[in-house]
Structure 1
Amino acid sequence: ITLDENVENIRASVAHIVAQGREALFDAEHFFDGYKANPEYALTCLHAAYEAGARWIVLCDTNGGALPSEVGKITEAVIAFGIPGTHVGIHTHNDTEMAVATTLAAVDAGARQIQGTLNGLGERCGNANLTALIPTLLLKEPYASSYETGVTLEALEGMTRISRMLDEILNRVPLKQSAYVGSSAFAHKAGLHASAILKNPTTYEHIDPGLVGNRRVIPMSNQAGQSNLRRRLAEAGIEVPDKDPALARILDRIKAREAEGYSYDTAQASFELLARDELGMLPEFFEVKRYRVTVERRKNKYNKMISHSEAVVVVKVDGDKKLSVSESMDELGNDRGPVNALSKALAKDLGRYQDLIDDMRLVDFKVRITQGGTEAVTRVIIDSEDGQGRRWATVGVSANIIDASFEALLDAVRWKLVRDAAWA
């Protein structure tokens, strides 16, 4: 069709929607690329929709390649052409990792509707991420004092939980480096950074993490000092007096364990259990007597080769031995692997503690070989989550990957019991 026919189609379509008593929104797909190719015609299309009664004229960076300076200038041109900013929206994609920046550039230029998605979910590299945009609009100037978003500061405290809830629904591992809501967004390496954070959090934190429902993390390693150690213990609800000899013992154990291949920078729960053990504050909820894992490769009834994992775990709880057997099959009959089978068997019957771990699930599993050759040592980091939305990481080290995995699984269960059991 001709350019003029296209403009008439836009006008007639919007007019039809408005005649039905509906609120019309004109999404101008490929607008910024179209504007750069033919500014006059791109603006004519927008104006046709606006004159026909569209409530919103949404400028779309469909290819995700526009830069913030371009988006700002072009949005200003749209408003100068006669479409008020109160009717202009912005819809950006993240192909240059600038979707949030280009969105804010449009807002600065006068746009008043933002289109985005939770966690930046979207085609290719995603869309403008609302978990970054909403906190920025509510907490950063000049936006915080200039605009009304309809989102309260109380509601903002649920941002991290909501972000992780979506990832859970999608069965995705949350991105630790996500702004505001990532588990590493407020993590500080022990040493100078951690020391500065203790004195003045604003030295390395641009906001209070609690404002978005996140929390500060100071990883523990053999570089940690006693002041940082006491602070980390206090966050875990463990008060240790200054200069207590146990502090030095804990640091010595961390140093020795890290020499064996352990890493507590990303395994906060295992660190807490180590410290509690040294302080005599770690009860023995149960004892593992033995475990066995088998993996079989065989043909199914359709003559297709499949794997089948099974785990047996024997634990002793309150003097009683309990044997649990679990397969690692999902609802479609696919094998989920030996570690999954071990996890299910371990959490199958812990006697009077069972109710406390029923809402646990394994959400991430990372393996690293810390030494090369035939003497290689395997380090396993497991991330777990419970029904309250709490996430914790544990570590296991062994020359045997299954043994390292089981150690990390044991720590995950013990940490959960320590936090939830009324054992004191």
Structure 2
Amino acid sequence: MASPENNRRIEIYDTTLRDGTQGVGVSLTLTDKLAITQLLDEMGVDFVEGGYPLSNPKDVAYFEEVQKLELKHTRVCAFGMTRRKGIDPADDQGMQALVNSGAPIITIVGKTWDLHVDEVLRISREENLAMIRDSVAFCRSADSVQEVFYDAEHFFDGYRANPEYARQTLQAAIDGGATRLVLCDTNGGSMTDWVTQVMAELKEKLAVDADTSAESLPSLAIHCHNDAGLAVANSQAAVAAGAVQVQGTINGIGERCGNVDLLTVIANLKLKLGYDCLIDGAVARLGELSDAVYEKAAVEPNDGQPYVGDNAFAHKGGMHVHAVQRIAHSYEHVEPESVGNQRRILVSELSGRSNIAATLGQKFGDAVTPEVQTNLLTKVQDLEHRGYQFEHAPASLELLMYEAIGQRPSFWVRDHYRCVILGVPEEPTQTEAIVKLTVGDEVEHRVAEGDGPVNALDAALRKALRAHYPQIDELTLTDYAVRVVNPTAQSAAKVRATAEFEARGVDGNLRRFSTIGVDENIVDASWQALSDAIQYYLIEVGAEK
């Protein structure tokens, strides 16, 4: 755990806005990038890399607009490549774009691996060294630039292939005035022991190369990709060996397998190892930061993500739940709240009675008797055997609880429903749903059109209920998913329909809940999920049947 000698400051350098956007499916608007910058500043992130000001109009606009933000902790970095071969930096368009960006920090990336110099750039190795040295020096000389960081691309591969030349590229950056030497595991394939070995050798040998003391050299930083699944381990190994800065992205988004996940690194450094990073209280907001970046990047959250994922503190096995209820740290390595997360107790076929009590006890109180726990657990196990899954449909589980204690109201009685789909070649498909219900003493027989059977059924059901339960207009379907339960049955397989809704409760707070339906007929499975959701909401708002 935390060690007193480890409390030195570790800089956090975020490249979500640049390296992260190279991930498949990731897209950030200018507004998104500015909002993320503001949030990172509030957390105390030391450096935010905004992009390459020559690559696209959005990045150009970012560097103009970010200067209008009143940042308290974060310094913005502009990223770019070395000058082109045979061109003076002052005449190079890329160099000019970097110094004109207004960013106080410039990050220059250069070639370290002789393979890239020889076969990709196809220039002499001496010219590559000159490009690095000249580019760093040009940016460092600009009045608006406070520091220049040098990103040694493919450093660990280059060092393995030709350690002497790899060190020469770093020396060129030192000669140009770089203040950080960033060792990049660009291919993401380095093993942790190799990172440790290289870090141990590097400062001593650089000092010999430069004929100076190690203390007078620029500080080392680490930038890892995750292609071998070791980005977090490699980043922490580098810090243990003396790196003062970790570069990465929020949630680990990025090209191929992604960058190192800064959230995991920060939590480990701060909570486990005792290093100083971010500002006080920021670690408890990591969950909030994770959610915000997922939402703005239009990327599905990773439920199994360490510390901040929905499943990071989810307990399903009955034995685990029983232990957690007695001693939380018996199955939790940190408190969920310490990283902005919360404990989740799941009910499934693997559950014990402890899961039922922990999940439903707070809401239903003394009604969750041992007998009810046993009966409900038996019901859940039977339904999950038939394809239901209550982990992601807690509202359906609560409806089962209402049934188990004899308190589930009947808001209506269904007579029937029918869906008619008219498909004509080269014309839009038309869908019509007919619903007939008895609500109290009245028969409601309604018809509605929609974009497919689920939408049409939802519209027809609401028409039938609106006069009796106007509260349903507050209920919004936000997500709908269907999954085949037993694919070996092919087209006759059962399907599981899950519907997610959101609405404001009686306390005015917006809340989300999910329900589930299972049937061989996709429409009937969907009807189960839709109708259960409306009934659950009516119970929650105290509607009279």
SS in 2 for 1:178: coil
What does residue 60 of structure 1 align with? 184
Query: Which of 233, 244, 258 is residue 112 of structure 1 equivalent to?
Result: 244
1:237-257: per-residue Cα shift (whole Å, max 9, x none)?
221257454334323432443
What does residue 137 of structure 1 align with? 269
By how many angstroms is 1:278 displaced? 2.5
- Matching residue's letter, 1:78: L
Alignment of 1:183-332 (within 5 A): 183-235=310-362, 237-240=363-366, 243=369, 245-283=371-409, 291-300=417-426, 308=429, 310=431, 312=433, 314=435, 325=448, 327-328=450-451
What does residue 162 of structure 1 align with? 289
1: CA distance, partners of 2:355 / 2:254:
40
What does residue 353 of structure 1 align with? 471
1: CA distance, partners of 2:249 / 2:186:
14
User: Residues 106 and 310 (structure 1 numbering): CA distance in 2 closer, same or farther, change over 3 Å?
Assistant: farther
8 Å Cα contact 2:133/2:172 also seen in 1 = yes
Query: Which of 521, 526, 541 is residue 405 of structure 1 equivalent to?
Result: 526
By how many angstroms is 1:39 displaced? 0.9
Alignment of 1:176-187 (within 5 A): 176-187=303-314
TM-score normalised by length of structure 1: 0.80
What does residue 69 of structure 2 align with? none
User: Residues 48 and 397 (structure 1 numbering): CA distance in 2 closer, same or farther, change over 3 Å?
Assistant: same
1:146-181: per-residue Cα shift (whole Å, max 9, x none)?
x2212433x333333432343334444322222122
2: CA distance, partners of 1:396 / 1:317:
22
- Matching residue's letter, 1:377: K
What does residue 48 of structure 1 align with? 172
What does residue 150 of structure 1 align with? 278
2: CA distance, partners of 1:389 / 1:128:
34
Alignment of 1:23-102 (within 5 A): 23-80=147-204, 81-82=206-207, 87-102=219-234
What does residue 333 of structure 1 align with? none
1: CA distance, partners of 2:224 / 2:455:
39
1:124-145: per-residue Cα shift (whole Å, max 9, x none)?
11111123222222221x2xx2
What does residue 484 of structure 2 align with? 367
8 Å Cα contact 1:296/1:309 also seen in 2 = yes
User: Residues 74 and 215 (structure 1 numbering): CA distance in 2 closer, same or farther, change over 3 Å?
Assistant: same
CA RMSD between the two structures: 3.5
- Matching residue's letter, 1:150: L
Q: Which runs of 5+ in 2 are unaligned?
A: 1-122, 208-213
User: Residues 297 and 128 (structure 1 numbering): CA distance in 2 closer, same or farther, change over 3 Å?
Assistant: farther
1: CA distance, partners of 2:491 / 2:172:
72
What does residue 334 of structure 1 align with? none
8 Å Cα contact 1:298/1:307 also seen in 2 = yes
8 Å Cα contact 2:494/2:520 also seen in 1 = yes
SS in 2 for 1:395: strand
SS in 2 for 1:206: coil
1: CA distance, partners of 2:515 / 2:409:
18
User: Residues 160 and 352 (structure 1 numbering): CA distance in 2 closer, same or farther, change over 3 Å?
Assistant: farther
In the alignment, does 2:127 pair up with 1:127? no
TM-score normalised by length of structure 2: 0.64
Q: Does 83-92 or 109-118 show the bigger shift?
A: 83-92
1:40-61: per-residue Cα shift (whole Å, max 9, x none)?
1111211221232223221111
By how many angstroms is 1:215 displaced? 2.4
Alignment of 1:358-397 (within 5 A): 358=476, 360-362=477-479, 364-369=481-486, 372=489, 376-382=493-499, 392-397=513-518
1:54-92: per-residue Cα shift (whole Å, max 9, x none)?
232211111111111111221233333246697322111
SS in 1 for 2:337: helix
User: Residues 373 and 362 (structure 1 numbering): CA distance in 2 closer, same or farther, change over 3 Å?
Assistant: closer
What does residue 30 of structure 2 align with? none
8 Å Cα contact 1:86/1:112 also seen in 2 = no
Higher Cα Rg, which structure: 2
Query: Which of 4, 20, 23 is residue 142 of structure 2 equivalent to?
Result: 20
1:204-250: per-residue Cα shift (whole Å, max 9, x none)?
22122222232222322355443332111125x22125745433432
What does residue 132 of structure 2 align with? 10
SS in 2 for 1:410: helix
User: Residues 70 and 261 (structure 1 numbering): CA distance in 2 closer, same or farther, change over 3 Å?
Assistant: same
User: Residues 225 and 150 (structure 1 numbering): CA distance in 2 closer, same or farther, change over 3 Å?
Assistant: closer
Q: Which runs of 5+ in 1 are unaligned?
A: 301-305, 329-336
8 Å Cα contact 1:347/1:357 also seen in 2 = no
Percent identity between the two aligned chains = 36
1:356-412: per-residue Cα shift (whole Å, max 9, x none)?
424x51165433228847874333344566798966543211121221123223344
Q: Does 370-379 or 270-279 show the bigger shift?
A: 370-379
User: Residues 390 and 109 (structure 1 numbering): CA distance in 2 closer, same or farther, change over 3 Å?
Assistant: farther
By how many angstroms is 1:15 displaced? 1.0
By how many angstroms is 1:294 displaced? 4.7
User: Residues 285 and 36 (structure 1 numbering): CA distance in 2 closer, same or farther, change over 3 Å?
Assistant: farther
What does residue 331 of structure 1 align with? none
Q: Does 166-175 or 308-317 show the bigger shift?
A: 308-317
8 Å Cα contact 1:173/1:364 also seen in 2 = no
- Matching residue's letter, 2:525: A
8 Å Cα contact 1:361/1:385 also seen in 2 = yes
8 Å Cα contact 1:233/1:240 also seen in 2 = no
2: CA distance, partners of 1:410 / 1:168:
29
